[in-house]
Structure 1
């Protein structure tokens, strides 16, 4: 889950290096986007040097209404509070953060062992407090690696049982874990890979606190057929993430027709967050401006 880079002109970038806290905060805010795109920290670090609060100010000025930060749970408590206060100032929403330890190379939830389940539930409980602190509603859950010694049916039953227990923790607080299928090329061996699989699991858990994070980058690699698959799993989708393929960079840099995909999502009435979980195709402040321009173009349906 890498996080990335940047924006502006070379002249502006050189000026910022001399005056790191005076990147020209504007009294006017750019027009907001039709959909609610959420950048992450580091994406605009050249355009708004000086730390995450400056980046938040810059994001708000550019018309972004949300923030996504996978590493929020790892941040010091005081910084979490500062970020929350700055987002509140700008009337910004908090997107997903990663709720638990992800087991990339060995089974955890799929294996059905009590210790793995209890660790997961403990970390979900901890994430409730993080969510309250930063005014978040959604948190990412990845069930981890497959158990090669067990049939997929048994593994699915183990995962569903763990998620039911987690949903019992989250429901009283109105919080939602979003299950993210990941592609096998970048993350070989993981249990959850397809939208239909996530849909099946959400139906089995049967809770408003267990939904799908549909990452368009991952699903383009895994199965393509994006709009029909979004349509088929729509009632269980609570959150989107994006990145173009190949390269996992901003829209317009790869093969995905994000203008049409975003148009479909908007026409369906989606008013949630679309996380910008990708890198920048070009370095420095110029590359950061290119990211914003790409979203303006892809949002102009």
Structure 2
């Protein structure tokens, strides 16, 4: 049976961020994820996790200037030193918070920029990140993201992500398989899960196309959850969706799985 992590960036927005931990725990979640921890002290977040019996499944490395529209710096030429510092910062947080998955965002590429140059920088930076993370037992994950939600995002397809991981060759570099993004870009999720499971380090879900609860939209998630179990995935599945109304009120889809949460 699958294990789910509430995404506190998108879910429980009825509460201040630090109060979302308790709200998720009350609803039966045993794990959480979010985009970024860096507005808070790591020790402060650790207290919230421990007080509510929660495991941190994942967060993202610093993405550059998010408020200005940046969406990662891993593939950006000229930002290599900044990227290395960002990995140091992220790993400082993982050592306190305890997660063993770290998402590194690729960043944006302009229409007039060299894809080959971005890819070279991306490979070099990912090799550095994986090597730095390996000492702490952390797996670095990269995520293909659809260009409808993030126009110009450098990495969009599952096969490209798997090829990049293979070329880097680090055992702790894997793909974050977001079912929502994959359905929009490629579809055929079951075949891709079967093809790529050995290289998948984290899975996320949301309804398609509106990114609401996973029981709304065009994907048959009960079938996919059973398939994911059959394929031997034992990590958390991140619930990275925007609740249609109140978060707790929309969790009817989760109740059949709560007895397995741990």
Q: CA deviation at 1:152?
A: 3.0
List aligned pairs for 1:41-52, cutoff 5 A. 41=8, 43-44=11-12, 52=18
Match of 1:65 among 30, 35, 48: 30
The alignment status of 1:204 with 2:164, answered yes or no, reads no
Q: CA deviation at 1:101?
A: 1.6
1: CA distance, partners of 2:183 / 2:113: 28
Compared CA separation, residues 39 and 106, structure 1 to 2 (3 A): closer
Compared CA separation, residues 272 and 125, structure 1 to 2 (3 A): same
Match of 2:46 among 62, 77, 81: 81
- Contact 1:181–1:198 (8 Å) recurs in 2: yes
Alignment-derived partner of residue 55 in structure 2: 93
Compared CA separation, residues 38 and 58, structure 1 to 2 (3 A): same
Q: Partner of 2:125: helix, strand, or coil? A: helix
Larger proportion of strand: 2
Q: Partner of 2:116: helix, strand, or coil? A: helix
Alignment-derived partner of residue 4 in structure 2: 37
Compared CA separation, residues 249 and 204, structure 1 to 2 (3 A): same
Provide the aligned length of Structure 1 versus Structure 2: 255
Alignment-derived partner of residue 11 in structure 1: none
Q: CA deviation at 1:85?
A: 2.5
Alignment-derived partner of residue 281 in structure 1: 244
Match of 2:97 among 134, 144, 161: 134
Q: Partner of 2:103: helix, strand, or coil? A: strand
- Contact 2:146–2:185 (8 Å) recurs in 1: yes
Compared CA separation, residues 78 and 154, structure 1 to 2 (3 A): closer
Alignment-derived partner of residue 186 in structure 1: 149
Q: CA deviation at 1:79?
A: 2.0
| Greater Rg over alpha carbons, structure | 1
Structure 2 length-normalised TM: 0.87
Q: Partner of 1:95: helix, strand, or coil? A: strand
Match of 1:162 among 109, 125, 129: 125
Q: Partner of 1:146: helix, strand, or coil? A: coil
Q: CA deviation at 1:139?
A: 1.3
Residue deviations 1:223-275 (CA, integer Å, cap 9, x gap): 11111111222111010111111110111111111111111001112110111
Alignment-derived partner of residue 254 in structure 2: 295
Compared CA separation, residues 106 and 208, structure 1 to 2 (3 A): closer
2: CA distance, partners of 1:280 / 1:118: 38
Residue deviations 1:192-228 (CA, integer Å, cap 9, x gap): 0011111001101111221111111111101111111
Q: Partner of 1:85: helix, strand, or coil? A: helix
